[in-house]
Amino acid sequence: MTDTFITPQGRKIAYHLTDGTGPAVVFLGGFKSDMGGTKAVFLEDWARQQGRAFLRFDYSGHGESGGEFTDGAIGDWFEDAQAAIGLVAGPLVLVGSSMGGWISLLLARYMPERLAGLVTIAAAPDFTEDSMWASASEDQRAALMADGQIALPSDYGDPYIITRRLIEDGRDHLVLRAPLPLPFPVRFLQGTADKDVDMAVALRLLDHAQGPDMRLTLVDGADHRFSDDRCLALIADSITEVIARL
């Protein structure tokens, strides 16, 4: 059964919380994804078998949560994540997928005392600037500024509606332009066949972040979904490894 809560900003957030021992594992999903995805559900089952506390949730405008997707931006979804982890006491291991990787890095920057470890999957920090804006044509940029939104093709269904607010708000939450200390065990996972997040992003993140225990694993042939059996097993193993390092 899905539970809900209201954030301090008044947004209705849907979530599933599994009781267990700590540190709790929190899954943060990607852009336009939801907590019913393969990775989130797999990790919930894994955590239950381990007797470990686990939280998955939908950002506002995603999945079962309230609000319209096009009304949201990185800052809103970061606030949603802050409110969601407030449901769980004690230290946390964050598992951030794609945009969730960016959100998890924001959490690491603003509340490192809550984090015991971090696992990212095809992390996409700063993608609104380095991918969406950087790859937009002059005509697209002009339309975005004039009309407030443009539609970009997606390999996952309907076109993405990209708003001017998403781009401008993203600039207020960039993590690769200033020091990024990660003072806990970190495992970055990345597929070599990812067409949405290039390996160069993972290498840049590894080079930019600062921490005593960081490791990047490249999986040959894995795509952005990172959801086949070997990838799911690697995610679980990476969480186990992070927890063992505590």
Catalytic positions, please? 98, 194, 224
Q: Residue type for 41, please?
A: V
What is the three-state SS of 130-196? HHHHHHCCHHHHHHHHHHCEEEECCCCCCCEEEEHHHHHHHHCCCCCCCCEECCCCEEEEEECCCCC
Output DSSP code: residue 10.
S
Beta pairing, strands 160-163 & 149-152: antiparallel
List Cα–Cα distances, 223 to 195, 198, 201, in angstroms. 7, 10, 14
Beta-ladder partners of 121: 97, 189
102 in Cβ contact with 175 (< 8 Å): yes
State the Cα–Cα distance between residues 234 and 21, nearest whole angstrom: 21
